[in-house]
Amino acid sequence: MTTTKNGSPLFVDAVGGGLASLAAGVARSVGLEGATAATSSDAVAVPSEVITVLAEIGAHVTSVAHLKDVKPTGEVIQLAEWSLYLLAPSEGELERLSAARIARDKIERKLNPSSS
């Protein structure tokens, strides 16, 4: 498993918290219990497909804070550097689920390379 600096990892996105919540949920499922999520976006919106794809692996969505309100206790992981994306609500449900599953699996491989 990937290790992080002392403290709990904070996953940050700039798109409403969906990716950050997804990453924190996956992180918790691979043993990073204190993983948290934040967004630099003004609005917080975790899409339903994030909840669905986390449930598929027995994980749970985490709450998302605004980055300005968070005091990190560990490594801050900027998800923009990980080439992840979720699709817009205007896209079809199957397409959104597929993109969320791909993002989930990429996150898991980054955090737990032995699972590949």
pLDDT tens per residue, range 10-41? 999 999 999 999 999 999 999 998 999 999 99
- Is residue 65, in this structure, part of any structural domain at all? yes
Instruction: Give the CATH number for residue 28.
Output: 3.40.50.2300
Q: Which domain holds residue 58?
A: 10-110
- Is residue 115, in this structure, part of any structural domain at all? no
How many Cβ atoms are within 10 Å of 2's Cβ, its own excluded? 14
pLDDT tens per residue, range 70-104? 999 999 999 999 999 999 999 999 999 999 999 99
Number of domains the chain is built from: 1
Instruction: For the chain, list the strands marked E by DSSP.
Output: 10-13, 36-39, 64-66, 76-78
Q: Which residue(s) pair with 36 in the sheet? A: 10
- Is residue 74, in this structure, part of any structural domain at all? yes
What's the whole-model pTM score?
0.92
- Is residue 1, in this structure, part of any structural domain at all? no
- Is residue 66, in this structure, part of any structural domain at all? yes
pLDDT tens per residue, range 52-67? 999 999 999 999 999 9
pLDDT category, 5, cuts 50, 70, 90?
A: low
